[in-house]
């Protein structure tokens, strides 16, 4: 069980993630400074270093967290043996959409992961690829069970992930559709074409 200090550390780190996400959305990653993030949180720049090595580290950890959150949601869908491959793929898209419409996720995903230092980039790619593997599994199973048309699984997977991940680029919490509405419409369109 976590002690008070660990809980407080995690809460403050969460505050930094969320505030950084807000400022990244407003100004863009490149124009955001650690000083601005710290000032918004009534902290000093030096105190941010207690939680993160740099602004790049905030972006890196946010991306890792985003992909880990997506992977957890997709893994839960993959475990649903009561659903057909079509139903699992539809549910995966809906659950993935819910993740992509969380503020820290869409604010992070809108930033170029090219800003991540080379030594961290591979870890982000590996986390992303774990999500891709789950989608590939749904597609392969659906093709094997003759539920989906036989086609190039990798290309179809990239097309689905491209469409789903792009939601983070255009989503607005002030828009007319809820994350659930967006997920349902996206799943219907993408899975309906298979």
Q: What CATH number should be reported for the domain holding residue 3?
A: 1.10.10.60
Do residues 187 and 134 share a domain?
A: yes
Q: Determine whether 93 is exposed, middle or buried from the number of CB atoms within 10 Å of its CB (0-12, 13-18, 19+).
A: buried
Cα–Cα distances in angstroms (integers) from residue 14 to residues 52, 62, 123, in the given order: 12, 10, 21
Do residues 182 and 109 share a domain?
A: yes
Do residues 34 and 84 share a domain?
A: no
Do residues 141 and 75 share a domain?
A: yes
CATH code of 81's domain: 1.10.357.10
Do residues 161 and 79 share a domain?
A: yes
Do residues 107 and 46 share a domain?
A: no
Do residues 92 and 153 share a domain?
A: yes
Give the domain-ending residue among 30, 52, 74. 52
Do residues 37 and 65 share a domain?
A: no
pLDDT 10s digits, 45-64 = 899 999 999 999 998 988 89
- Can you tell me the distance from the alpha carbon of 103 to that of 51, in angstroms, rounded to the nearest whole number? 20
Give the domain-ending residue among 52, 70, 92. 52
User: Tokens standing for 42?
Assistant: 């009534």
The whole-model pTM stands at 0.85
Do residues 90 and 178 share a domain?
A: yes
Q: What is the pLDDT of residue 1?
A: 64
What is the tally of structural domains in the chain?
2
Q: Determine whether 113 is exposed, middle or buried from the number of CB atoms within 10 Å of its CB (0-12, 13-18, 19+).
A: middle
Do residues 45 and 107 share a domain?
A: no
- Can you tell me the distance from the alpha carbon of 145 to that of 32, in angstroms, rounded to the nearest whole number? 49
Q: If pLDDT is split at 50, 70 and 90, which confidence band does 3 have?
A: confident
Do residues 24 and 64 share a domain?
A: no
pLDDT 10s digits, 97-147 = 999 998 878 877 776 666 778 888 889 889 999 999 999 999 999 999 999
Structural domain for 15, as ranges:
1-52
Do residues 9 and 59 share a domain?
A: no
């Amino acid at each position: 069980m976590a002690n008070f200090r660990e809980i407080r550390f995690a809460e403050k780190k969460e505050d930094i993630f969320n505030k950084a996400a807000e400022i990244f959305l407003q100004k863009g990653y490149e124009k955001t400074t650690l000083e601005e993030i710290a000032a918004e949180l009534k902290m000093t720049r030096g105190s941010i270093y207690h939680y993160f090595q740099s602004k790049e580290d905030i972006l890196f950890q946010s991306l890792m967290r985003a992909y880990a959150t997506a992977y957890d949601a997709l893994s839960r869908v993959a475990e649903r043996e009561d659903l057909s491959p079509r139903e699992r793929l539809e549910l995966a898209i809906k659950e993935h959409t819910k993740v992509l419409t969380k503020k820290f996720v869409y604010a992070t995903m809108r930033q170029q992961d090219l800003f991540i230092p080379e030594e961290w980039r591979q870890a982000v790619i590996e986390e992303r690829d774990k999500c891709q593997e789950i989608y590939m599994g749904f597609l392969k199973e659906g093709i094997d069970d003759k539920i989906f048309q036989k086609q190039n699984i990798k290309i179809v997977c990239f097309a689905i992930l491209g469409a789903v991940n792009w939601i983070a680029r255009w989503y607005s919490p002030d828009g007319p559709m809820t994350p659930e509405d967006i997920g349902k419409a996206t799943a219907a369109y993408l899975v309906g074409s298979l």
